[in-house]
A = this chain, B = another copy of it.
């Protein structure tokens, strides 16, 4: 179910280079112009994700693109996603509680830059491809967080600024996200979801498994190459 609301024609979209943010870009691009924001925050797959971002931005011929350096997040630490010494455990997403890949308050920091850029550009939406269910356990992926953050945006920006935080995937399952992307011709071949920083996706980490299952359940085939024949 979707609520139809009036949208300005320029949107900032947070694009990690993963599957969810690529579909989110497709959704925003179907409505109007997109300004694409990518953040390097010292994650293990930084170079691979940046390459994915650029390929997606090229696909959408996005003139407005910004790569923000927030590598201080790696210095702050607190996550296996940015740690130089700790590995990302397998089966982590299935655990109870907050997964070790949680990067403290990351989405607030990404949104902060997105909102600032939107205010300068005059964009009226900031899209983020967060998913509450599949990422359960990430506190900053909950709908209630985005609603709360949107209120802070409303109070903390110019009186004439009205920016909505748009989370089109928030209630969707991976198979539905894949399905939506297929319908919108999301360039899945350019996306990168794997936790490892290698030429080919591993097909074995939680993120690969979630993605592969999504394609399988959507009755489709993931177009990216995997290290082993896993599909």
Q: Which residues of A does B touch, CB under 8 Å?
A: 66, 68-73, 75-78, 98, 102-109, 112-113, 115-117, 119-120, 139-140, 142, 144-145, 148-149, 151-159
Contact = CB atoms under 8 A, between A and B. Distances in A.
Contact of A109 (B116, B148, B151, B154): B116
A124 to B, nearest CB: 14
11 contacts: A66-B75, A69-B72, A76-B116, A76-B120, A105-B119, A105-B156, A108-B152, A108-B153, A109-B109, A139-B157, A152-B152
A172 to B, nearest CB: 20
Contacts of A104: 115-117, 119-120, 157
Most B-side CB within 10 Å, residue of A66, A69, A105, A145: A105
Describe A's contact surface by its main secondary structure: helix
Copies of this chain, count: 2
A75 to B, nearest CB: 7
Given A76-B113, A105-B153, A142-B155, 13 more contacts: A68-B70, A68-B72, A69-B71, A70-B70, A104-B115, A105-B119, A109-B112, A109-B113, A140-B157, A142-B156, A145-B155, A148-B151, A148-B155
Contacts of A151: 148, 151-152
A98 B119 CA distance: 13
A16 B42 CA distance: 24
A76 B66 contact: yes
A120 B72 contact: no
A227 to B, nearest CB: 33
Nearest to A150: B152
Nearest to A112: B109
A112 to B, nearest CB: 4
Most B-side CB within 10 Å, residue of A72, A117, A140: A72
A145 B155 CA distance: 5
Nearest to A107: B156
